[in-house]
Structure 1
Amino acid sequence: MASEPAPYYYAPRGGLPGQRDLTTDRAVFTEAYAVLPRRTMTDIVTSYLPFWEDTRLWVIARPLSGFAETFSQYIVEVSPRGGSDKPELDPAAEGVVFLVEGDLTVTIEGEKHELAPGGYAFVPPGTTWAVRNTGDRAARFHWIRKAYQRVEGIEVPEAFVTNERDIEPIPMPDTDGAWTTTRFVDTSDIRHDMHVNIVNFQPGGAIPFPETHVMEHGLYVLEGKAVYLLNNDWVEVQEGDFMWLRAFCPQACYAGGPGPFRYLLYKDVNRHAALSRSFV
């Protein structure tokens, strides 16, 4: 039996549009949602971090008035032998690393894990960890960070490392497999206060109603194209685009084909709504 083909993941390369290119694009920033098309991820909008060597990144979400409230998300590009032995400076931050290109060694509490594309690592708050590009080409990965909301009597979840290819996608009810979700964390595991999953649509698959719910969303399109409903607007999106959705922003989509439409999805879950700054 032939093995299944490896999943495809889009990763930005940087560069700069030519002087003859039109400025017009699909970039939009509203009070309910934002769209950062892949064309916006150029060399001149990269950032750098303390204690990271031979590394640059695109910051595509950060806590900000009128923007993301619960998370930050980076696309990190690490050159060969680059990385960090002190990647996270915030002891309250949990994180997910999702590798889309290259090879990466993630060391968590002294234990080394070799990640290939599709590799996923969850890092709890207060964990000692390190990241190093062990390959001969650039490694590119998503790094999603959130301030973990501790609850008395609930343990902090442990670190784990896996790969998308080792997880069977779960079909959504009554969709005949046209809409599935690759879940890296059990939805009933109340220890986790964020989920970072992969949502998969076959060509023609759809979210057939305007989802409107409490979770803030970050969606990075890994593969394919679709028409996405964001609040009152239908927006064309393609692989490499990032969408941010405020809580309760209506959303739906139609996958355009000719191949699958897939995105990496962040959402905050399993916690009370904070009623004051003293309640976290």
Structure 2
Amino acid sequence: CASSGVAVNIGAMAIASGAYDVVMVGGVEKMRGLSTEGVTDTLAMAADALYEVGAGFTFPGLYAALATAHFAEFGSSWEQLAAITIKNHRNGALNPKAHFQAEIMETAKRLGERNNMTFDDEMDFLRSSLNTVVAYPLRLFDCCPISDGSAVVLLAAGEVARNYTDTPIYIRGMGQASDTMALHDRKELTTLRATKLAASQAYKMAGVNPGDIGVADVHDCFTIAEVFATEDLGFFPKGEGGKAAAEGRTALDGDVAINPD
């Protein structure tokens, strides 16, 4: 998941060192050629193979464990996760390149007609049998789809960038960190230490704090991942990321727009 971001980090450092003036970095992910079972098995290889995969853990199962830990410690809820689902689908409907370009109620109407069901609102649909449980408490619409995508970024030294554009975007801060792969080796299940470390590095380099950030794209393979990210990046106190999402504070017009695309 982090390969493309790491590539940008390394490319920027290569330019900052003076070794290169221009670096092109890219990322690609092609997953739709595999079956759901094939993708599940492949992603599981990135988890702890010795204990967790052998015990039957899948990626949804691992994040479900993080979600239940968060619920138990902070009193957060699945309804807060559902608010993230609704918000992200609403944002995706505005993006012509999004995998899903429909708001939840559009999807509810389409699936409802197919199954002779009607729904009062988004939550009514998300609580229904059409939104099946994948790994408790995560349901189908808490999980990201299997997608294909790619991106390329051209990095250049400040004076060189002006040769290509009149409006270069400057990198003010970067951070990178990692943690133990196995969940059972981590000291706590309600904080992603790597996120906190990387964020502190980036904030320090840029000379900013979380309150200065107005828009953020964060990892959201599952809705609970967005909760962890907004908390560990410092946008909201620990345990309040889900509550903030449910209150609309991560919407496009909220305190900080999270995953606007």
> Would you tell me which structure has more helix in proportion to its own residues?
2
Instruction: Kindly name which structure, 1 or 2, has the bigger radius of gyration based on alpha carbons.
Output: 2
User: Which TM-score bucket, shorter chain as reference?
Assistant: under 0.3
TM-score normalised according to structure 2 size: 0.26
> Would you tell me which structure has more strand in proportion to its own residues?
1
TM-score normalised according to structure 1 size: 0.25
Higher RCO (Cα < 8 Å, 6 or more apart): 2
